Amino acid sequence: MARTPYIAANWKMNKTVAEAAEFVDALLPRIAATQHDVVVCPPFTALHEVVERRRGTAVRVAAQNMHEAESGAFTGEVSAPMLVELDVEAVVLGHSERRQFFGETDAALARKVPAALAHDLEPILCVGESEEGRDAGETETVLERQLQADLAEVADADLPRVVIAYEPIWAIGTGKVATPEQAQEACAFIRDVLRGRGAAADEVRILYGGSVKPDNAAELLALPDVDGALVGGASLDAEDFAAIVEAAG
């Protein structure tokens, strides 16, 4: 089935409010004709500015993380209702940097993903193996473990509401890129895992993330099981990100 391409800009801890405004103003005219789903993921401080500047356009906004509770004594955290109040539509969950540097666990993600869905936030769930895991031939083992654990509390009927981002950790911010064969194999395997749950796996958008740039985007996005990209460094430049959106066809 035809799946609408999904291109997301993960800015990570970059861009002030003023820089975010400048980016959105530069991006919008460049992608005005796109039929793809274009999502910008600013830091928390710039969410409001990006939401307001994209109003009336096809661009959607995602946060980079959230807590599973609606409120409580969780200093420094942000909840789904807080994001919804800002008109944020999606949230990145389980990014490898959150897992690696901030101790995010599969157990926490098993709570976060259904919490996002309960508030009509679209989860962009990140999964992927380390370089050591790939070298040891454990890519499929890691992916299946993460998917089964992180989606354990999501009903099969709700799985098409989740976007999955395959991000091989060894390709994030390193300049290394999975070969088209590696990306396709991993994304096809992810779809097979979802299919094994009896889900409508052909409806799930699966993204590739890992040093996606304008010069490699078209080849990666043409793969049959790659439905879009979670873009890091190249998403900080409006012209580069627009080129990646265009590369999706």
Of 24, 74, 70, the C-alpha closest to 47 is 24
Number of domains within the chain: 1
Looking at residue 127, its amino acid is V
Per-residue pLDDT of 7-51, as tens digits, reads 999 999 999 999 999 999 999 999 999 999 999 999 999 999 999
Catalytic residue among 68, 104, 129, 167: 167
- Which amino acid is residue 58, in one-letter code? A
Instruction: Write down the pLDDT at residue 173.
Output: 75
Alpha carbon distance 235, 153 (integer Å): 32
What's the confidence (pLDDT) of residue 170? Answer: 83
CATH code of 56's domain: 3.20.20.70
Does 118 map to a domain? Answer: yes
Alpha helix positions (H), the chain: 17-30, 47-54, 80-85, 96-102, 106-118, 131-135, 139-150, 180-196, 214-221, 238-247
Enter the pTM of the model. Answer: 0.96
Q: Report pLDDT for 172.
A: 78
Taking the alpha carbons at both ends of the chain, their separation in whole angstroms is 16
Residue numbers of the domain that contains 42: 6-247
* Residue 1 located in a structural domain: no
Question: Would you say residue 238 lies in a domain?
Answer: yes
Identified catalytic residue from 36, 95, 104, 129: 95
Query: Residue 65: what are its φ and ψ, rounded to 5°?
Result: -175, 165
Residue 230, in any domain of the structure: yes
- The answer to whether residue 167 is catalytic is yes
Distance CA 61, CA 89 (A): 6
Q: DSSP state, 105?
A: -
Q: Do 228 and 6 meet the contact criterion of CB atoms below 8 Å apart?
A: yes
Average pLDDT, the chain: 95
48 is a catalytic site residue: no
Q: What is the pLDDT of residue 12?
A: 98
For residue 1, the model assigns a pLDDT of: 60
Which residues of the chain carry a pLDDT beneath 50?
none
Asked if residue 211 belongs to a domain, the reply is: yes
